[in-house]
Amino acid sequence: MFREIVSGATYRCLIDGQWRDGRVHPPIDVTSPCDGRVIGKIQALSKEEVDEAFAAAKAAQKKWAQTPVNHRAVLLHKAADLLEEHCDEIARILSEEIAKDIDSAVSEVQRTADFIRFTADEGKHMEGETVGADHFPGFKKQRFSVVTRVPLGVVLAIAPFNYPVNLSVSKIAPALMAGNSVILKPPTAGALSALYLAEVFRAAGLPAGVLNTVTGRGSEIGDYLVTHPDVDFISFTGSTAVGRRIASQAQMVPLLLELGGKDAAIILEDADLQDAAKNIVAGAYSYSGQRCTAVKRVLVMESVADELAALLKAHVDKLKVGLPSQPVQITPLINKQAADFVQELIDDAVEKGAQLLCGGRREGNLIYPTLFDRVTTDMRLAWEEPFGPVLPILRVQSVDEAIRIANDSEYGLQSAVFTKNIDRAFYVANNLEVGTVHINNKTERGPDHFPFLGVKASGMGTQGIRYSIEAMSRPKVVIINLGDERHE
Ligand code: NAP
Ligand code: G3P
């Protein structure tokens, strides 16, 4: 099924239903984070070629919007079945290009098939409403409005490297169910599996032009994409820096931004520390900490800090380190820049007196799982998002101090609070300036139909299947004025 997509090692772009090579610029290498070898090449589209993709999307969207919702849903279910059928092949490519351990890569693809099916079914319940005028003073029953939901038009979907399949679909599927067409800009690191995903939708029968892919470095074509006159909505997941840049350029185009995070796990003195430690380590170190919702700081009451630190160390020491083809949790980070940045934060913490409990070692892009105790707020690691396998423990003297430090972050994605007292759990949750608070569980996005949002520097707008469909559609109001009620 996938023969059209690749010529040699070079992956093409899907434009107007055809897999095409770029005509102007040489392809870009996609290299392995583990050993730097080239595992594929992608097109670096020119502005003219980007224009062709938008023209196809704009033309196709009109007819797609008229496609009955149940037909859209049938097509999405077919895509989910095809994705599942090719799960092993797509997961292998995903694992190779972003160094995600193969088990997590397989679960990302399976989760994505479930996401598509849920979206197809949810989209069938996106109804409108009728509103009577006589509810308002001065109006009679003869006037009422019929409100339906209509698509916005062309959705620009930009996905990050760490979930190249799932976070592409978290935009594509809701956009399609709402009747939009899509321009997908996959991450350069992660593009190969994202392009396979586009082929799955094409092979499932998606009409030409409804889904198009544009590849090339975001730093080179990003601004042109974001300011393109044919963009009607932008759904972006990625760093806060790029999100801010997009927001500064988008003008009147509505946005959905899912950005960085510095999720705090707050541990009260009555917490089940064994359970908390297991959750925190799973939440902080899976996919080497390269998750926006990773636990990125522990704020623990001083009275239980020694016990928790020992439990955390015991779990971290058991983490498996290796290559993505093996059943491990810790693999090389996405590139040298990412590893250099994490190393900077580690060096700063050591220099300022943090207690290194384990890790602190590096081999190329591989950073060994690192845990610090007695991290203080003058250290960069207390505030910056490492996007790597390093976790700071900060000791606090009161619940309110924990809330203050948590809220002093520029980020506001998620937090977790561990306690046996539900009243205190809600006291903490109600005072945290974040999108989501988990009680007695690690921070995480799933399940994918839950609302998922960041506040402050963590984003704007709400993802989550129904919320995304709503964000990518709008009300259309038709007001009816019947004749006078006094019929002869
Ligand atoms: P990134 O560097 O911001 O890149 C994200 C996407 O934006 C990529 O497709 C990238 O293309 C593209 N891009 C880069 N510069 C652009 C520009 N000027 N205009 C338009 N698009 C541009 O982020 P990442 O490194 O892929 O992901 C890591 C970051 O994303 C972390 O901060 C993490 O917290 C955040 N993240 C947040 C969530 C969430 O749901 N809140 C989920 C995952 C990741 P290239 O790949 O070609 O550069
Ligand atoms: O960083 C990707 C973000 O969406 C996290 O997803 O499911 O790993 O919490 P999850």
Which pLDDT tens digit goes with each residue over 164-188?
999 999 999 999 999 999 999 999 9
Token pair for residue 146?
Answer: 């019929």
* Cβ pair 194, 5 in contact under 8 A: no
When pLDDT is cut at 50, 70 and 90, the band that residue 397 belongs to is: very high
- Average pLDDT for 458-486: 94
For the residues 183-212, what does the mean pLDDT come to? 98
Half-sphere exposure of 329 (CA within 13 A, CB side): 18
Active site residue 258: yes
Q: How far apart are CA 272 and CA 31, in angstroms?
A: 43
DSSP class of residue 210?
A: S
* Section 227-236 average pLDDT: 98
pLDDT of residue 128: 93
**Bridge pairing between strands 473-481 and 143-151:** antiparallel
Query: What's the pLDDT band for 34 if we cut at 50, 70, 90?
Result: very high
Q: Residue 82 has which token pair?
A: 């095809």
Closest ligand (CA of 259): 1
Tell me, what's the pLDDT at 422? 98
Is residue 372 a contact partner of residue 349, using CB atoms and an 8 Å limit?
yes
Which residue's CA lies nearest to atom 35 of ligand 1?
Answer: 238
The one catalytic residue among 49, 199, 258, 385:
258
CA of 261, nearest ligand number: 1
């608070």: which residue's tokens? 437
So what's the pLDDT on residue 442?
Answer: 98
Question: What structural domains does the chain harbor?
Answer: 3-259+459-474 (3.40.605.10), 264-439 (3.40.309.10)
Tell me which of 226, 292, 334, 453 to substitute to probe ligand 1's pocket, judged by most ligand atoms within 8 Å of the beta carbon: 292
Structure tokens at 462: 């709400």
> What pLDDT is stored for residue 307 in this prediction?
98
Ligand 1 site, CB within 6 A? 158-162, 185, 187-188, 217-219, 222-223, 226, 237-239, 242, 245-246, 258-261, 292, 385, 387, 413, 454, 459
pLDDT at 96: 98
Q: Residue 487's pLDDT band (boundaries 50, 70, 90)?
A: low
Q: Please pick, among 13, 34, 292, 444, the residue that the annotation labels catalytic.
A: 292
Which of 197, 40, 36, 25 shows the shortest CA–CA distance to 109? Answer: 197
Q: pLDDT tens for residues 53-65?
A: 999 999 999 999 9
Whether 292 is a known active-site residue: answer yes
Mean pLDDT of the chain: 97
State the pLDDT at residue 108.
Answer: 98
412: pLDDT strictly greater than 50: yes
Q: How confident is the model at residue 70 (pLDDT cuts 50, 70, 90)?
A: very high
The pLDDT confidence band at residue 485, using thresholds 50, 70 and 90, is low
Instruction: Quickly state the pLDDT bin for 1 (edges 50, 70, 90).
Output: low
- Return the residue whose CA atom lies nearest to atom 23 of ligand 1: 238
Q: Which residues contact 90 (CB under 8 A, 6 or more apart)?
A: 83, 109, 165, 193, 196, 197, 200
Q: How confident is the model at residue 354 (pLDDT cuts 50, 70, 90)?
A: very high
Q: Does the pLDDT at position 345 exceed 90?
A: yes
Whether pLDDT at 486 is above 60: no
CA of residue 305 to ligand 1 center, whole Å = 35
Mean pLDDT of 263-277: 98
For the cut 50, the answer to whether the pLDDT of residue 488 exceeds it is: no
Residue 160 CA to ligand 1 centre (angstroms):
4
Question: Collapsing DSSP states into helix, strand and coil, what is residue 411?
Answer: strand
- pLDDT above 70 covers a percentage of the chain that reads 99
User: Which tokens in the block code for residue 449?
Assistant: 């139909």
CA of 65 to the centre of ligand 2 (A): 30
Ligand 2, pocket-test mutation among 170, 236, 444, 462, most atoms within 8 A of CB: 444
- pLDDT surpasses 90 at 7: no
Taking only the tens place, the pLDDT of each residue in 271-292 is 999 999 999 999 999 999 999 9
